[in-house]
Amino acid sequence: MSAPLYNRDILALAVATADFPLLENARRASLRAPLCGSRIVVDVDTDADGIVQAVGLHVEACALGQASAALLARHAPGRGLTELRAARDAIAAWFAGEGGVPDWPGFDLLAAARDYPARHGAILLPFDAAVAALDTAEARA
Protein backbone atom coordinates (compact mmCIF):
# COMPACT_ATOMS: atom_id res chain seq x y z
CA MET A 1 0.00 0.00 0.00
CA SER A 2 1.90 2.99 -1.27
CA ALA A 3 -0.75 5.69 -0.83
CA PRO A 4 -2.34 6.73 2.44
CA LEU A 5 -6.01 5.84 2.80
CA TYR A 6 -6.93 9.36 3.91
CA ASN A 7 -5.20 12.38 2.45
CA ARG A 8 -5.83 16.07 1.86
CA ASP A 9 -7.69 15.43 -1.43
CA ILE A 10 -10.02 12.86 0.15
CA LEU A 11 -10.76 15.17 3.07
CA ALA A 12 -11.42 18.10 0.71
CA LEU A 13 -13.90 15.98 -1.23
CA ALA A 14 -15.51 14.81 1.99
CA VAL A 15 -16.39 18.33 3.05
CA ALA A 16 -17.55 19.15 -0.49
CA THR A 17 -20.76 17.17 0.11
CA ALA A 18 -22.05 20.34 1.76
CA ASP A 19 -22.10 21.91 -1.72
CA PHE A 20 -24.93 19.55 -2.70
CA PRO A 21 -27.94 20.10 -0.41
CA LEU A 22 -31.01 17.90 -0.74
CA LEU A 23 -33.36 18.94 -3.54
CA GLU A 24 -37.08 19.66 -3.66
CA ASN A 25 -39.23 17.56 -6.00
CA ALA A 26 -36.43 15.21 -7.05
CA ARG A 27 -36.14 11.43 -7.27
CA ARG A 28 -34.89 10.19 -3.91
CA ALA A 29 -33.23 7.05 -2.65
CA SER A 30 -32.10 6.39 0.90
CA LEU A 31 -29.71 3.50 1.50
CA ARG A 32 -27.51 2.03 4.22
CA ALA A 33 -24.32 -0.01 3.80
CA PRO A 34 -24.80 -3.03 6.08
CA LEU A 35 -21.10 -3.72 6.75
CA CYS A 36 -20.07 -0.26 7.91
CA GLY A 37 -23.41 1.36 8.71
CA SER A 38 -22.92 4.29 6.35
CA ARG A 39 -26.14 6.00 5.31
CA ILE A 40 -26.95 8.22 2.38
CA VAL A 41 -29.87 10.09 0.91
CA VAL A 42 -29.43 10.97 -2.76
CA ASP A 43 -31.81 13.28 -4.60
CA VAL A 44 -31.57 13.26 -8.38
CA ASP A 45 -33.26 15.91 -10.49
CA THR A 46 -33.65 14.86 -14.12
CA ASP A 47 -34.98 16.33 -17.31
CA ALA A 48 -37.82 14.72 -19.29
CA ASP A 49 -35.36 12.31 -20.92
CA GLY A 50 -33.99 11.07 -17.58
CA ILE A 51 -30.70 12.96 -17.84
CA VAL A 52 -29.38 14.12 -14.48
CA GLN A 53 -29.56 17.87 -14.00
CA ALA A 54 -28.58 18.08 -10.32
CA VAL A 55 -27.77 15.87 -7.34
CA GLY A 56 -28.47 16.55 -3.67
CA LEU A 57 -26.88 14.64 -0.80
CA HIS A 58 -27.17 13.85 2.87
CA VAL A 59 -24.26 11.59 3.80
CA GLU A 60 -23.44 9.86 7.08
CA ALA A 61 -20.30 7.94 6.18
CA CYS A 62 -16.55 7.86 6.55
CA ALA A 63 -14.47 10.35 4.58
CA LEU A 64 -14.14 7.84 1.72
CA GLY A 65 -17.91 7.46 1.42
CA GLN A 66 -18.30 11.22 1.56
CA ALA A 67 -15.61 11.69 -1.09
CA SER A 68 -17.32 9.16 -3.36
CA ALA A 69 -20.63 10.99 -2.88
CA ALA A 70 -19.03 14.32 -3.82
CA LEU A 71 -17.52 12.78 -6.96
CA LEU A 72 -20.93 11.39 -7.89
CA ALA A 73 -22.66 14.74 -7.34
CA ARG A 74 -20.04 16.70 -9.26
CA HIS A 75 -19.98 14.47 -12.32
CA ALA A 76 -23.46 12.91 -12.63
CA PRO A 77 -25.13 15.92 -14.30
CA GLY A 78 -25.44 15.28 -18.02
CA ARG A 79 -25.52 11.50 -17.54
CA GLY A 80 -28.38 9.04 -17.50
CA LEU A 81 -29.22 5.80 -15.74
CA THR A 82 -27.21 3.65 -18.15
CA GLU A 83 -24.02 5.63 -17.52
CA LEU A 84 -24.48 5.69 -13.76
CA ARG A 85 -25.22 1.96 -13.67
CA ALA A 86 -22.09 1.31 -15.78
CA ALA A 87 -19.99 3.42 -13.40
CA ARG A 88 -21.40 1.57 -10.38
CA ASP A 89 -20.67 -1.79 -12.02
CA ALA A 90 -17.13 -0.70 -12.93
CA ILE A 91 -16.46 0.33 -9.34
CA ALA A 92 -17.73 -3.04 -8.05
CA ALA A 93 -15.61 -4.88 -10.63
CA TRP A 94 -12.54 -2.85 -9.65
CA PHE A 95 -13.07 -3.74 -5.99
CA ALA A 96 -13.37 -7.41 -7.00
CA GLY A 97 -10.05 -7.21 -8.87
CA GLU A 98 -11.77 -7.54 -12.23
CA GLY A 99 -10.90 -4.20 -13.76
CA GLY A 100 -8.86 -1.05 -13.55
CA VAL A 101 -9.70 2.19 -11.79
CA PRO A 102 -13.23 3.14 -12.90
CA ASP A 103 -13.56 5.74 -15.63
CA TRP A 104 -15.19 8.36 -13.41
CA PRO A 105 -13.57 11.76 -12.94
CA GLY A 106 -11.53 11.91 -9.74
CA PHE A 107 -12.02 8.27 -8.82
CA ASP A 108 -8.27 7.68 -8.94
CA LEU A 109 -8.16 9.55 -5.61
CA LEU A 110 -9.92 6.56 -4.02
CA ALA A 111 -7.45 3.98 -5.37
CA ALA A 112 -5.88 3.29 -1.96
CA ALA A 113 -9.28 2.11 -0.67
CA ARG A 114 -9.23 -0.93 -2.92
CA ASP A 115 -7.09 -2.70 -0.30
CA TYR A 116 -9.72 -2.04 2.40
CA PRO A 117 -12.82 -4.17 1.72
CA ALA A 118 -14.59 -2.76 4.78
CA ARG A 119 -14.68 0.62 2.99
CA HIS A 120 -16.04 -0.66 -0.33
CA GLY A 121 -19.69 -0.46 0.73
CA ALA A 122 -19.40 3.19 1.75
CA ILE A 123 -17.75 4.07 -1.56
CA LEU A 124 -20.35 2.20 -3.64
CA LEU A 125 -23.27 3.57 -1.63
CA PRO A 126 -23.67 6.93 -3.46
CA PHE A 127 -23.70 5.19 -6.83
CA ASP A 128 -26.10 2.51 -5.56
CA ALA A 129 -28.44 5.23 -4.31
CA ALA A 130 -28.29 7.27 -7.52
CA VAL A 131 -29.06 4.16 -9.58
CA ALA A 132 -31.91 3.27 -7.22
CA ALA A 133 -33.39 6.78 -7.51
CA LEU A 134 -33.21 6.69 -11.29
CA ASP A 135 -34.51 3.10 -11.48
CA THR A 136 -37.54 4.21 -9.49
CA ALA A 137 -38.07 7.12 -11.88
CA GLU A 138 -37.77 4.84 -14.91
CA ALA A 139 -40.21 2.34 -13.44
CA ARG A 140 -42.82 5.11 -13.06
CA ALA A 141 -42.46 6.28 -16.66
Which residues make Cβ contacts (< 8 Å) with residue 97, sequence separation at least 6?
A: none
Helices (H), 25-116: 63-75, 81-95
Phi, psi of 46 (to 5 degrees): -125, 160
Percentage of residues of the chain with pLDDT beyond 90: 82
| Residue pLDDT, tens place only, 44-100 | 999 999 999 999 999 999 999 999 999 999 999 999 999 999 999 999 999 999 988
Query: Quick one: fold of 8-140?
Result: Sufe protein. Chain: A (3.90.1010)
For the chain, domain boundaries: 8-140
Q: How many CB atoms lie within 10 A of CB 31?
A: 20
**What is the average pLDDT across 99-108?**
92
